[in-house]
Amino acid sequence: MQDLAMENNQAETVFFVPNGNDYDIRWFTPAAEINLCGHATLASAYVLFNFLGYKQPSLTFHSKSGP
């Protein structure tokens, strides 16, 4: 994941993976993993609801910062 973040060379790169009915989420800068990125989290939720067919009324991401 860190290598992809370096290759993307953006402020943050986000990765999310299914975990039951929820998702695990991690954020990376080109230099290191970070504990939280609100903009990338909102963008991830947008992609899940609008492009990946997530149909539940709410969504929980789990991260090093908590749910």
**Residues carrying an active site annotation:** 12
Q: Contact 33/6 with Cβ under 8 angstroms?
A: no
Question: ∠ CA 15-16-19 to the nearest 5 degrees?
Answer: 150
Question: Distances in Å between the alpha carbon of 37 and those of 15, 16, 57?
Answer: 11, 13, 22
